[in-house]
Amino acid sequence: MSFLGILMLDTRFPRPLGDIGNPATFAGLQIPVRYQTVRGASPEKVVRANASLALQPFVAAAQELVAQGATMLSTSCGFLARYQRELQAAVPVPLISSSLLWLSAPELAGQRCGVLTIDAPALDASQLMGVGADPATPVGGVAAGCEFQRRLIGNQSFMDLRQAQQDVVDGALALLSDHPEITTLVLECTNMPPYAQAVGAATGKRVEHIVSLLEQRWRSIA
């Protein structure tokens, strides 16, 4: 049976329903999923030191999942958008490195998109250009050192999920305050989808993320 294969960072932080690393997220969508952890690929290394990130372990994990029967692949960190082309070239099945691929999707043509990320200073033009997106796309982040950022980047085993949700909502509101022209919010971080509904309710905007993109792409090839 075919399945969605996901390249996972080496993490231990909580993954509530909606998170890409929670199998129940995909069970609810009736998408079979299998995970492959890339050992040593910590959130800190991928988000903040990705310019020197070794790609071969990700390529090997992707190829292993394809060998097992994966018919589509994704990753558990939106910052891997920088390497979309290289990763896709290494495998014969569709590879969705990041929710940032929404920015060049025909479904959002005509929308004014903005990106909410876990770390705005670390998200540079290379990630946007890696997926064919406009490097001038507005980008905002959660507050530096907030619960959501600190627990995930630090790869800690506990997170106050209620506060994490508030951090993500606050980041979205701040981005919209700076860029009121935005009509659609794209959540870069694969750990943000659990809070997408709250973001939509607080902002009144369309909200897209990695899980919504994977569901759309999976249905298109099923």
d(CA 105, CA 69): 26
Cβ atoms of 93 and 74 closer than 8 Å = no
d(CA 45, CA 41): 6
Q: Which of the four pLDDT bands, split at 50, 70 and 90, describes residue 221? A: confident
pLDDT digits (tens, 9 = 90+) for 61-76: 999 999 999 999 999 9
Provide DSSP, 1-17.
Answer: --EEEEEE-S--S---T
* C-alpha count within 13 angstroms, C-beta hemisphere, residue 159: 25
Output the 3-class SS for 151-175.
HHHCCCCCCCHHHHHHHHHHHHHHH
User: Quick one: tokens of 120?
Assistant: 């705005």
Is the pLDDT at 194 greater than 70? The verdict is: yes
pLDDT at 177 over 80: yes
The overall pTM is greater than 0.85? yes
Higher pLDDT residue, 205 or 45?
A: 205
Alpha-carbon span 188 to 211, nearest angstrom: 11
**How many CB atoms are located within 10 Å of the residue 43 CB?**
24
pLDDT at 51 > cutoff 70: no
Contact at 8 Å (CB) between 183 and 190?
no
- List, for residues 100-156, the tens digit of each pLDDT value: 999 999 999 999 999 999 999 999 998 999 999 999 999 999 999 999 999 999 999
Give the chain's domains with CATH numbers: 3-98+211-221 (3.40.50.1860), 100-209 (3.40.50.1860)
